[in-house]
């Protein structure tokens, strides 16, 4: 596969090295060359941070150089004969493809974040930092600033950041997150100025919908069980109704027993065997049988034997495996491929 196109016809243009084109820009070019359905099928397999980066590149596709597009096509898709949509209606294409891949609510929220442009760059920079580093950056900020940051970041990252805070601060922030519904552009502008002064500019006119009890529940799903239990008790002491709402929206590993057989089968196709084996080591008999009955008899018998033969496994390792499976289940649920019910049988 060629990395470099020597010259254009006529020999007047300098070579374009495909390796000089950022990966997310190359991915955007290729996705915009496909139908929305095909692009959505690819986007489904990306991680959230990858979707954010590629989506941002797709939103800027109108500025693409035609020579650059040709280089990417010839280097990575030599069989492609024709293409459309490059630079034309890229925002609509991006929105429709993301909706098809992620579901309307999640996609619209992501598109809103992407199209805020400079208004979200300061926040985006935090996504690539170690949670401890982010905690050290925001530790002395106003609690409302901390709340916006934690609501904006991925739930697993926010959970790790919260673990760096004192217990009383965790409670205050979780209550604020649960009560937060949207953030006005002026607040985003202030946050960006604080986080990254080099990113000047004004946020868009649209309020960003972040936070709320669902965000609080998702963050708590990624916390250690002991921390989660203490924090839930503290929230219940302050606001019993809110604690109930959060608890109802939380989805734990044992709730997989309530997923229908078709959903379990789809889940099993995406879960690595070693992860499943470790997760089931700490599961009750009912859930184990639910999983086994959705496997072939041979595969189920082998899994049972492997689990019985396993040496002792640390509780933390079992919980990590279970949370990895839950993460896959949530992705499938967001795509509409299975239904997850929380503590009060509410579908998420």
- Which letter, b or e, does each residue of 102-126 get, where b requires 16 or more Cβ atoms within 10 Å of its Cβ? beeebbeebbbbbbbbbbbbbbbeb
Other Cβ atoms closer than 10 A to 21:
17
Q: Do domains 4-107 and 120-249 have the same CATH topology?
A: yes
Q: Provide the CATH topology of domain 120-249.
A: Annexin V; domain 1 (1.10.220)
pLDDT of residue 84: 43
Q: Provide the CATH topology of domain 253-334.
A: Annexin V; domain 1 (1.10.220)
| Cβ contact 291:301 at 8 Å | no
pLDDT of residue 102: 60
CA dihedral 151, 177, 181, 343 (to 10 degrees): 100
Rg (CA), the chain: 23
Which parts of the chain register pLDDT below 70?
1-15, 18, 60-66, 73-122, 125, 128, 194, 196-211, 340-348
Per residue in 111-135, pLDDT (tens digit) is: 555 554 434 456 776 776 778 888 8
Here the tokens at position 75 are 């280097």
Locate the domains of the chain by residue range. 4-107, 120-249, 253-334
Per residue in 92-101, pLDDT (tens digit) is: 666 666 666 6
Give me the DSSP letters along 236-296.
Answer: HHH-HHHHHHHHHH---GGGGGGS-HHHHHHHHHHS-HHHHHHHHHTS-HHHHHHHHTTS-
CA 159 to each of CA 34, 85, 117, 143, 163: distance values in angstroms, whole numbers, following the listed order: 37, 39, 26, 16, 6
For the domain spanning 4-107, the CATH number is 1.10.220
Angle at alpha carbon of residue 337, lines to 332 and 271, rounded to 5°: 45
pLDDT of residue 100: 66
pLDDT of residue 3: 46
| Cβ contact 248:218 at 8 Å | no
| Cβ contact 260:333 at 8 Å | no
The rounded mean pLDDT for the chain is: 74
């Amino acid at each position: 596969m060629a990395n470099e196109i020597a010259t254009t016809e006529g020999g007047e243009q300098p070579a374009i090295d495909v390796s000089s084109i950022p990966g997310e820009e190359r991915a955007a070019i290729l996705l915009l060359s496909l139908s929305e359905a095909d692009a959505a099928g690819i986007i489904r397999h990306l991680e959230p941070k990858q979707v954010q980066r590629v989506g941002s590149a797709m939103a800027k596709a109108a500025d693409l150089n035609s020579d650059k597009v040709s280089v990417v096509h010839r280097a990575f898709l030599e069989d492609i004969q024709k293409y459309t949509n490059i630079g034309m209606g890229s925002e609509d294409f991006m929105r429709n493809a993301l909706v098809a891949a992620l579901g309307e609510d999640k996609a619209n929220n992501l598109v809103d974040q992407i199209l805020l442009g400079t208004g979200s760059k300061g926040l985006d920079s935090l996504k690539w930092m170690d949670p401890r580093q982010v905690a050290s950056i925001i530790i002395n900020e106003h609690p409302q600033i901390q709340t916006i940051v934690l609501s904006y970041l991925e739930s697993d990252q926010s959970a790790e950041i919260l673990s760096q805070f004192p217990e009383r601060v965790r409670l205050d922030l979780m209550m604020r997150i649960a009560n937060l519904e949207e953030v006005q552009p002026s607040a985003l502008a202030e946050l960006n100025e604080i986080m990254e002064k080099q990113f000047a500019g004004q946020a868009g006119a649209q309020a960003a919908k972040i936070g709320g009890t669902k965000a609080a529940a998702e963050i708590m799903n990624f916390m250690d069980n002991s921390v989660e239990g203490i924090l839930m008790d503290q929230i219940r002491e302050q606001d019993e109704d809110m604690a109930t709402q959060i608890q109802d929206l939380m989805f734990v590993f044992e709730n997989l027993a309530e997923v229908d057989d078709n959903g379990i089968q789809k889940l099993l196709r995406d879960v690595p065997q070693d992860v499943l084996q470790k997760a089931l080591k700490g599961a009750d008999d009912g859930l184990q049988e639910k999983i086994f009955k959705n496997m072939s008899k041979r595969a189920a018998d082998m899994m049972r034997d492997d689990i019985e033969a396993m040496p002792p496994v640390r509780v933390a390792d079992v919980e990590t495996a279970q949370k990895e499976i839950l993460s896959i289940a949530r992705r499938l649920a967001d795509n509409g491929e299975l239904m997850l019910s929380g503590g009060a049988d509410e579908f998420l």
